[in-house]
Amino acid sequence: MNINKDIRSYIINNFKNDKKETLRNAIEGSIEEQDEITLPGMGVFLEIIWKDADKELQDKMLNIIMDRLKLEKQN
């Protein structure tokens, strides 16, 4: 059993037929709750975005992450 593949498959299958608002609520709820159990799902979402993003969007995402990490270090 490959748990990483199983998690990816579960997350994708769980959300693939949902509406945009359902996905938005899942993401925002995960962020608000700061529940560690939702992190694998957020990782799957990031992977999906990353694979379809061009270099410009990838660089923008990296800059956002880097800027945010710098802010977190200050707190």
Is residue 42 a contact partner of residue 30, using CB atoms and an 8 Å limit? Answer: yes
What pLDDT is recorded for position 72?
Answer: 82
pTM of the predicted model as reported, rounded to 2 decimal places? 0.80
Separation in Å, CA 4 to CA 40, 55, 71: 9, 26, 31
Q: What pLDDT digit, counting tens, does each position of 15-66 carry?
A: 999 999 999 999 999 999 988 999 999 999 999 999 999 999 999 999 999 9
Residue at token pair 């609520």: 25
Q: In angstroms, how far is CA 47 from the centroid of its own chain?
A: 7
Is it the case that residue 75 has pLDDT exceeding 70?
Answer: no
- Provide the pLDDT for residue 74: 72
pLDDT exceeds cutoff 70 at 1: no
Q: What is residue 70's DSSP assignment?
A: H
